[in-house]
Amino acid sequence: MELDSVTLSRMLTSLTLAFHIIFATIGVGVPVLISAAEFIGIRKKDDHYILLARRWARGFTITVAVGVVTGTCIGLQLSLLWPSFMQIAGHVISLPLFMETFAFFFEAIFLGIYLYTWDRFKKPLHHWLLSIPVIIGSSASAFFITTVNAFMNTPQGFKLEGRTITEIEPLAAMFNPATPSKVLHVLTSSYMTAAFILASLAAFAILRGRGSEYHRKALKLTMICGLIFSLATAIAGDISAKFLAEEQPEKLAAAEWHFETEKGADLIVFGTIDENNEIRNEIRIPKALSFLAGSSFDTEVIGLNEFPEDERPPLWIHYLFDSMVSIGFFALGISALFVFLSYWKKANPMKKWLLFLIVCSGPLSMLAIEFGWIYAEVGRQPWILRGYMKVAEGATQADNVGVTFLMFLALYIVLGIITVTVLLKMFRNKPAQAEFDDRFPDSPGIGQ
């Protein structure tokens, strides 16, 4: 099969983004956890938490590096693969793109300072203060870049005549209807995913019998954070669904296999669909989709049939949507259970099966991030600029996109493998116990 430039450009962009968001999510979320651990360590004068912050920060540097380089790749690939799109949209989205690099710059400076000044301040709190600009920088860059993506979903703030753009309002473009719900969902889900990834590391150590007081504290901290952030993510997801019903009904309709516009629409959970759009094996929750879309059981939900066939997103995004939501509730459930058991005096939260589920929660959360993004992006097909420009009009006309795809595929495979190897080696060579004795020789020890 001969693939054209448009398909290849889409494949390469998806590949880069799918790889980048793993590291971008960690990059946005983990600083929050590091900062929390250091703060608790200083307040409680507990060296375990300080060590936790240090060890997380050390692993974080590796993921940041890969995040930075893959971020640079996607930044340039926007122009390399979608030159016609950038020529037009560049007039409108360059402000948030520009500000994103400022935020990134700010984060880069303070991350460098944070990592190399652990022992340079007389008051530990001064070092902790440096983590604040790191969080501000990473979350702000997520904010700005998400406004660009939101703009592609609900473009506004300009007039387009042929290829000429006029009447630009940069701020209206940035604060488009999709911005609030998207930003909220991206930030909360990144914090959440970071919490569950760190939790699964701690749970894994305990499950393997290498657990100590240090790991138990880590697990408790990350699970509490995970509970808070997964609650916030669920709320943000609900806001997003209501936004979609209002502004991008075809995306919600495709995800829910909702064809006829009606009041009291059923929510379809799981199931399969055949070529005649017959739905089977589903769990049907009466009127729940209407409730999801507008907080009332008789909200009218616009169906997919209202849209011309060539402007409908593919129906397979339903599976992604359902998987994302299921994982979200799974993570919320186990963190709630764990926190409940830890505060209930008679119970023991360190049950094997629970620890095992926590180990799964980290990778699953990351998978949910991937599913959510694929759903969000494929859900606005066939548009690159919804209502203005289709994907095929934006792609490069250059040949050789196929070669480029293979080069980047090789790069990401190598980077992925080496990142994992280096991270494993880094922590195996220096277990928490040894590092603790090394760094805090006067402390009573890490305890088993």
Partner 1 sequence: MSIEILGITVLWVFLYGYVIVASIDFGAGFFAYYGRVTGKEHVISHIISRYLSPVWEVTNVFFVFFFVGLVGFFPDAAYYYGTALLIPGSIALILLAIRGSFYAFGNYGSKDNSFYLFLYGATGLLIPAALSTALTISEGGFIEEQGNKVIFLAGELVSSPYSWSVVILAIVSVLFISAVFLTYYADRAGDTPARELLRTFALFWSPPTILASFLVFASLREHNERHFNNALEIWWMFGLSLLCFLAAVLLVYKKKRFGTSFILVMLQFFFAFFGYGASHLPYILDPFITIYSGYTNPEMGMALVAAFIAGLLLLIPSLILLMRLFLFNADYVKGEK
C-alpha triplet 408, 388, 368: angle, nearest 5°: 45
* Residue 105 binds to partner 1 (criterion: CB under 8 A): yes
Least distance between partner 1 and beta carbon 129 (Å): 12
* Residue 418 binds to partner 1 (criterion: CB under 8 A): yes
Residue type, 102: F
Both tokens of 177, joined, read 């209807």
* Residue 281 binds to partner 1 (criterion: CB under 8 A): no
Both tokens of 158, joined, read 């300009």
DSSP string, 33-84: HHHHHHHHHHHHT-HHHHHHHHHHHHHHHHHHHHHHHHHHHHHHHHHHH-HH
355 to 327, 332, 362: CA distances (angstroms): 16, 15, 12
CA 199 to CA 208: how far, in whole Å? Answer: 14
* Residue 165 binds to partner 1 (criterion: CB under 8 A): yes
From the list 342, 321, 363, the residue with the least C-alpha distance to 194 is 363
* Residue 403 binds to partner 1 (criterion: CB under 8 A): yes
Instruction: Give the one residue of 91, 220, 312, 439 binding partner 1; rule: CB under 8 A.
Output: 91
Instruction: Give the one residue of 156, 326, 419, 433 binding partner 1; rule: CB under 8 A.
Output: 419
Instruction: Give the one residue of 132, 168, 235, 347 binding partner 1; rule: CB under 8 A.
Output: 168
* Residue 392 binds to partner 1 (criterion: CB under 8 A): no
- Report 39-78 residues binding partner 1 (CB under 8 A): 58, 61-62, 64-66, 68-73, 75-78
* Residue 27 binds to partner 1 (criterion: CB under 8 A): no
Please state whether the peptide bond connecting residue 382 to the residue before it is cis, i.e. omega within 30 degrees of 0.
yes
By beta-carbon proximity to partner 1, the closer residue of 172 and 350 is 172
* Residue 108 binds to partner 1 (criterion: CB under 8 A): yes
By CB under 8 A, which span of 35-43, 47-55, 88-96, 191-199 interacts with partner 1? Answer: 88-96
Instruction: Give the one residue of 133, 237, 303, 313 binding partner 1; rule: CB under 8 A.
Output: 133
250 and 311 Cβ atoms separated by less than 8 Å: yes
By CB under 8 A, which span of 38-46, 169-177, 198-206, 433-441 interacts with partner 1? Answer: 169-177
Least distance between partner 1 and beta carbon 438 (Å): 17
Q: Which residue has the tokens 């694929």?
A: 374
Query: Residue 171: helix, strand or coil by DSSP?
Result: helix
Element (H, E) at 273: strand 272-273
* Residue 287 binds to partner 1 (criterion: CB under 8 A): no
From the list 370, 367, 358, the residue with the least C-alpha distance to 331 is 358
By beta-carbon proximity to partner 1, the closer residue of 80 and 336 is 80
Instruction: Give the one residue of 26, 34, 48, 82 binding partner 1; rule: CB under 8 A.
Output: 82
* Residue 426 binds to partner 1 (criterion: CB under 8 A): yes
Instruction: Give the one residue of 95, 129, 350, 367 binding partner 1; rule: CB under 8 A.
Output: 95
